Amino acid sequence: MRTTMITRRNFLKAAGAAGAAGLLAACGGSGSSSAVSAPASVSTAPAEGDVSLSISWWGGESRHEAYNAAIDAFMQSHPSITVNPTFSAWTGWEDSMSTKFAGGVGEDVCQINWNWMYKYSSSAQTFMDLRDYADYIDFSQWDDAVVNTCFVADSQQAVPVSMTGRIFYWNMTTFNKAGLTDYPKTLDELYAAGETFLNVLGEDYYPLHLPGYDRMILMVFYLESVYGKNWADPATCTLNYTREEIATGFDFIRSLVEHHVLMPLPKYYGINGENLVYQSAEWITGKVAGFFEWDSSAPKYEDALDEANRPGFTVGDEIKFGDYNGGFTKLSMGLAITQTCQHPAEGAMLINYLLNEEEGAAIMGSACGLPASKSGLAAAEAAGAINPVVEEANKKIMSFCAFEHDPLFEDEMLKGVGTGVYQQVFDTMDYDNAPSEELVDLLLDGLESVGYIV
C-alpha cells in the first residue's frame, strides 16, 4: 500500500464538510463564501490617470510565455495601465486561489475553472457581472451557448477562453516498434495493443497510463458510451447511474489493467512517486505510449518526449465503446474580474485585448486551448499561432462528445492529486484488488460528501 494513501473515513473526516459547502449551492444546497465585496464606489468607467491591475493564471511554460508577452504588448498600447502577473503550475493552485477569494485578496483578473463560479461565487459574491462592462468587452464574439456557460447566479461571472474535452493521444514510434501501424480505434484493438506490447516489447511497455482522476474521466466516458446518459444531472447534481451500472465501469477499467493496456498504479508510483505522466521517464522514453487528456494539454506531452519519440506523437480518435458517443465537453477556463477589483473597466479592457482583439489574441494563440472567441480564433489563425495538435484534437472532440458536465465532478476533494476520492478509489482497485462493489461504495460515499445526490 502506498504510504501517501489515506483511508476513506480519515479523508472525509478531515476534509469532507468544509470542502463540500462551497459547491452545494450549485446543486440546490446552501453553500456560501466569505469573499469580500468591492466598495460600492467602484466605477464602471475607466479611471483618469495611471492604473495598476493584477492578473493570475495557472499553466505550463508555453502559457506563461504567451500571457506575459500579451501583457507586455497590452501595456505598450495602454501606457497608463500597469499589469502585474501571478502564475504557476496547477498543483496547489486552487488551494491558493480559494484562500485569496475567501480573504478578498484575489487578483483583479483571474483565469478560472468552470466550477469555481459555483464553488466560490454561488451567489455572484466573488466575481463581477461582466454585463456591466459590455462597453469594453465585445460579447458578440462568442456564441450564446458558449458564453452562457459562464452565466451563473443570474450573473455573467466570466467570459470563455476556450472549450475542451478529452481525447486519446498516441506515441506511434512505440506502436511501430511493437509492429503496429495504426492506433486503437475500438476496445478490442485497445486490448490487442496491450497484449502486443507485452509480447513484443516486454512487461515494461504499455499503451496507456492514467492516474486516478484520468481513470475516472475515462470510466465516465465508457459509461456514457454504453448507457447514453450524463454522469449526473447538470442542474441538480443527481447521479444518473445505478450501483450496478457504476460497477460495470470499474470492471472496464480493471479489464484495461488485466489486458496490459494500463500500467498498474503500484508499478507507476513505485518508479515515479507523484510525478505527473508527462514528467515520467516512461512517457519521455516511449515505454508508456498513450494518454487521455484535454486538448489544451497536448503540447506539454509532445514537448516532453525525447528526440527519438517526438516524431511519433499523434492525435488519436475518440473510441466508441458502445451505441452512443461518450464524453463530455466543458468550458476549459474563463477570465473573470473579482469583486475587489478597483478598476474593473480596465480589467475588462485587458480581457477583451487578450481574447478578442487582433494583437492580443494573435500572441495568445492556442496557449489556453483553441480560442472560443470568433475574432480571437481568426486573429490567432491569421498569425499562424494555433498549435495544429490542439486544433486537430479540439475539432475531433467537439464533433464527437455528446454529453454535459456537472459542477461537482471536478471538486478538488474528488480529483485532488494523491489525496482525492478518485485517486483513492483506483488505488484501492490496483493495490488491494478490491471488488467492484466495494469500489462503488467508496466512490458513492465520496460523491455524496461533496453534494451529489446519489
11 vs 120, more confident = 120
Would you place residue 42 in the very low, low, confident or very high pLDDT band (cuts 50, 70, 90)? low
Full set of structural domains in the chain with CATH: 47-164+332-398 (3.40.190.10), 166-327+411-449 (3.40.190.10)
Would you place residue 26 in the very low, low, confident or very high pLDDT band (cuts 50, 70, 90)? low
pLDDT (0 to 100) of residue 91:
85
Q: Which long-range contacts (CB under 8 A, 24 or more apart) does 61-70 make?
A: 62/299, 62/300, 62/303, 62/367, 63/87, 63/367, 63/368, 65/367, 66/363, 66/364, 66/365, 66/367, 66/368, 67/354, 67/364, 67/367, 69/363, 70/353, 70/354, 70/360, 70/363, 70/364
SS3 432: helix
Closest CA to 147 of 139, 155, 135: 139
Task: Evaluate if residue 366 carries a pLDDT over 90.
Answer: yes
pLDDT (0 to 100) of residue 4:
36
pLDDT (0 to 100) of residue 1:
36
pLDDT (0 to 100) of residue 17:
39
* For range 177-197, the mean pLDDT: 98
Please state, in angstroms and rounded to a whole number, the distance separating the CA atoms of residues 130 and 115. Answer: 17
Please state, in angstroms and rounded to a whole number, the distance separating the CA atoms of residues 231 and 227. Answer: 10
pLDDT (0 to 100) of residue 48:
85
Mean of pLDDT over the chain: 91
Task: Evaluate if residue 170 carries a pLDDT over 70.
Answer: yes
Please state, in angstroms and rounded to a whole number, the distance separating the CA atoms of residues 342 and 55. Answer: 13
Q: pLDDT tens digits for 276-327?
A: 899 999 999 999 999 999 998 899 999 999 999 999 999 999 999 999 999 9
pLDDT (0 to 100) of residue 137:
98
Question: Residue 168: which H helix or E strand, with range?
Answer: strand 166-171
Would you place residue 416 in the very low, low, confident or very high pLDDT band (cuts 50, 70, 90)? confident
Grid cell, residue 77, equals: 498600447
pLDDT (0 to 100) of residue 36:
37
Task: Evaluate if residue 25 carries a pLDDT over 80.
Answer: no
Task: Evaluate if residue 23 carries a pLDDT over 70.
Answer: no
Closest CA to 329 of 205, 413, 221, 183: 221
Q: What percent of the chain has pLDDT over 90?
A: 85
* For range 11-15, the mean pLDDT: 36
DSSP 453: B
User: Rounded to 5 degrees, what are φ and ψ at 265?
Assistant: -60, -40
| CA-based torsion, 295, 100, 411, 276: positive or negative | positive
Tell me which amino acid residue 338 is. T
Please state, in angstroms and rounded to a whole number, the distance separating the CA atoms of residues 254 and 438. Answer: 13
44 vs 125, more confident = 125
85 vs 299, more confident = 85
Q: What percent of the chain has pLDDT over 70?
A: 91
Q: pLDDT tens digits for 236-248?
A: 999 999 999 999 9
The pairing of beta strand 109-112 with beta strand 330-337 = antiparallel
Would you place residue 275 in the very low, low, confident or very high pLDDT band (cuts 50, 70, 90)? confident
Which residue intervals of 197-258 are DSSP H helices? 212-227, 243-258
Cα three-residue angle 37-146-90, rounded to 5 degrees:
60
Closest CA to 267 of 288, 249, 252, 236: 288
Half-sphere exposure of 141 (CA within 13 A, CB side): 26
Query: What's the whole-model pTM score?
Result: 0.87
- The secondary structure of 268-320 as a DSSP string is HHHHHTT--GGGSHHHHTTSB-EEEEEGGGHHHHHHHS-TTTGGGEEE-----
Q: pLDDT tens digits for 376-393?
A: 999 999 999 999 999 999
DSSP 394: H
The number of angstroms, rounded, from the C-alpha of 302 to the middle of its chain's C-alpha atoms is 18
412 vs 447, more confident = 447
Task: Evaluate if residue 21 carries a pLDDT over 80.
Answer: no
